[in-house]
Chain A
Amino acid sequence: MLHRLINSALLVALLLILIEGNSFAQTQANATVNASATILAALTITKNTDVVFGNVGATTPGPVYLDPKGLAASNYIGTSAAVGTFTIAAASTQSIHLGWPATVQLTAGANHLTYTLKVNGFTASTQASSTTLSLTGGYCDVTTSATGGYFLWVGGDIGTLTTQATGAYTGTANFTVEYN
């Protein structure tokens, strides 16, 4: 009789332990997510000058072209034409991610012109040394200089004009830069 009681008590105790252990294993689970951020020197992009095609005839023999490398190779632009310029300041020799629209609509009232951007870049402010930057998926990666600088020159074309409506056409192109 005593032996049976002992066995029963042990069995109850074992069952209690098993049930308790089981419920703990299934009622709460934990995981840890790690978070990180690397802070580099402040990243800035400053527009120095706007893109100006100047006064252009309503009909041109060829594409109206503003060469970002300088006015020497430009065609059918006005004498007041100017290449747009940006200065980027960032961490030294750091890969950065540039973005700009391939085209922008210039408008004058109800009239439109399609401006196709051409952008050159270089690690120093020497326009003549700049090279063409190409967009891949709307972005272009470049590396800043040892002092963290990078420079952009913005030209492009508005196509060959054929009795284009006269007017002052304007538009805006948004340039972005971020760290890679």
Chain B
Amino acid sequence: MSRNIFTSVLFVTMLVVLVSGNSLAQTQANANLPASATVLTALTIHKNTDVKFGNVGATTLGIVYLDPTGAASNYIGTGAQVGVITIAGATGQDIRITWPSYIDLSHGLNHLNYVLQVNGYTANTPTSSTPLTSGGSTATTDATSGNYFLFIGGQLGGSTTTAAALSSQATDTYSGSAPFTVEYN
């Protein structure tokens, strides 16, 4: 084992010597290759609350809608709640957030389409939040705290592109998961 390591090191060393020898053969032609990396505060994303539509009628007069700001929801149960995610990173830093534009809620053979609507804001005040571009968006963390908050609602029913009111939806408890990713720009 130590012999192998020694052989490998020797090989690497020889390569370095050969490359070095090569450049010397050109009588000192030099070029610099700048390399840089900006290390920022560790970026974290934490789910605070899940998305809940609560108890919903199998047939609704209109589209079942959970408003991320909490103001204009329709046909949801009183136990409904907006999903909340906290992102913490460097202050005033551009970040890119991605998520699926829709997911399938299911139980057994029953399925229900859920089109996500995600709002964002630099403080944990959903009423001040504004919609982010569906499926992925850039944002800037708070200049003081480095935080950014996501508020998640959306529509139930219809297709992945066209929402519709529920019509004789099978009674059941539907669930699913949506992955969220954040990275520095």
Contact = CB atoms under 8 A, between A and B. Distances in A.
A89 to B, nearest CB: 10
B40 A33 contact: no
B93 to A, nearest CB: 11
Contact of B55 (A5, A19, A32, A180): A180
B106 to A, nearest CB: 11
B55 A10 contact: no
B174 to A, nearest CB: 5
A38 B176 contact: no
Given A9-B13, A30-B180, A39-B112, A25 B171 contact: no
Contacts of B10: 6
B171 A180 contact: no
Interface stretch (A40-48, A52-60, A76-84): A40-48
A29 B44 contact: yes
B43 A28 contact: yes
Contacts of B159: none
Nearest to A94: B55
Residue of B77, B112, B169, B183 most packed against chain A (CB within 10 A): B77
Contact of B156 (A19, A37, A42, A97): A37
A37 B47 contact: no
Interface string B30-64: 00000001011111111100111111111110001
Contacts, number: 157
Contacts of A91: 55, 171
A178 interface: yes
Contact of B57 (A2, A27, A40, A97): A40
Contact of B112 (A23, A37, A94, A97): A37
A35 B77 CA distance: 14
Given A22-B39, A42-B58, 10 more contacts: A6-B6, A10-B9, A36-B176, A37-B56, A38-B172, A39-B171, A41-B57, A42-B57, A179-B57, A180-B77
A17 interface: no
A34 interface: yes
A35 B180 contact: no
Contacts of B39: 22-23, 26
B125 interface: no
A73 interface: no
Interface residues of B, number: 60
A35 B179 contact: no
A110 interface: no
A85 B184 CA distance: 59
A31 interface: yes
A32 B179 contact: yes
Given A9-B16, A41-B171, A179-B77, A36 B178 contact: no
Interface in B97-146: 103, 105, 112, 114
Given A41-B58, A42-B57, A178-B78, A34 B177 contact: yes
Contact of B58 (A2, A27, A30, A40): A40
Given A38-B54, A39-B112, A29 B172 contact: no
B182 interface: yes
B52 A180 contact: no
